[in-house]
Amino acid sequence: MSSTAKTAAKTVLISGASIAGPALALWLHRYGFTPTVVERAPELRTGGYKVDIRGTAIEVCRRMGVLDEIRAKSTNMRGGSYVDDAGRTIGELPADIFGGRVEEDDEIMRGDLARILYERTRDDVEYLFDDSIASLAEDAHGVTVTFDSGTVRRFDLVVGADGLHSHTRKLAFDPEERFKRHLGAYISIFTAPNHLGLDRWETYHALPKKLLCVYSASGETDARNLFVFSAPEDVPYDLRDVTDQKRLLADTFAGDGWEVPRLLEHAAGADDFYLDSMSLVEMDRWSRGRVVLLGDAAHCSSPASGQGTGLALTGAYVLAGELARAGGDHTVAFARYEERMRPGVEQNQKMAEGFVKEMTVGSKWKIALRMLMVRTLPKTPWKNLIAKKIRDGIQSAANAVPIEDYAAPTATPAAPHPTVTA
């Protein structure tokens, strides 16, 4: 392949319109590339749980120009409490200790962040909703992409930013089973009426090998509900079917106290019900030829890390910056992107393994010990030291990927969107 062919990359297809995809599209457009985003869903997905923006991701958002919008949509959580089976408060903690936050760290609903990024890019980026990649055929000069709709187009590069169950990864690399490592637990999230009357407050209830959380963020009238539970990867349910997912949740928590029966009733009728495994994605390489993976598709750290969104935003910044620095030479840019991201990714994945175990404590006496700590911590003279230790670990992971200044190149017109070839 000639040097000219290597450095000619301008058109980039991005699979996935959640967080990583639109963030990458924003940066690529600024650098003079022509990004196209394809999304399987018929419209922007605005559901999901609250996500942390901290550490390096704060600076990335500032450089993107969206930090003020994130601040305006902050969850503004005041704190949280643990309750027993009867609903009695065991202990309360302020938001900074609960979330391990410092200084500029913030939190936003995933759907709000997705909407912010989409609105920032929709006028400059081509979005293809209700479609997805059916096949990829790479040659020395680009990638021929056939879409499920039957459309065939040519792109210089393809980016898979389509999550834990990335279809792009399956097409360009190998089946998911080769790269996904189950952490022994599942997570379920859904919206329900705020019958507890929570106001920027989260309430936790711990059971052996299970954890529940109900909360309501700033500006929300409903409540979000999170269930975490230990289970092997090969549970006897069809996890591709939402009815079976709901059955799994109901069977797992059947007979449990507190508000569980009522929450399970809400889960049965929820139209935004989500359930998936807590898993890591571990790959030797995140690129193959002209195809590269980004965010959870490349290195899912599971929701337990609290860093998936931060890594997605940072990864988008680094990948676009390296492509610009290399003049579109993907052979150089992809290697640099991975070199800069991988150490921080591995640190966050290691942290996630520990957090999953903390979320699914296996015995009543260990839960009782934790509740004792929650109850007594605000009254102890060393509470600041304990809080600092918690924050230091989280902040180390949040700042594990150092970022560089990628000077914007001399403004050049972006290439036209690829034409339909079939």
Q: Burial, 345: exposed, middle or buried (Cβ in 10 Å; 0-12, 13-18, 19+)?
A: buried
CB atoms closer than 10 angstroms to residue 63: 16
The DSSP line for 41-73 is SSS------EEEE-THHHHHHHHHT-HHHHHHT
Tens of pLDDT along the chain (422 residues) come to 333 345 457 999 999 999 999 999 999 999 999 999 999 999 999 888 999 999 999 999 999 999 999 999 999 999 999 999 999 999 888 887 777 777 789 999 999 999 999 999 999 999 999 999 999 999 999 999 999 999 999 999 999 999 999 999 999 999 999 999 999 999 999 999 999 999 999 999 999 999 999 999 998 999 999 999 999 999 999 999 999 999 999 999 999 999 999 999 999 999 999 999 999 999 999 999 999 999 999 999 999 999 999 999 999 999 999 999 999 999 999 999 999 999 999 999 999 999 999 999 998 999 998 888 888 877 777 767 777 887 888 899 999 999 999 976 544 445 555 544 33
By the 8 A CB rule, do 348 and 400 touch?
Answer: yes
- Radius of gyration, alpha carbons of the chain: 22
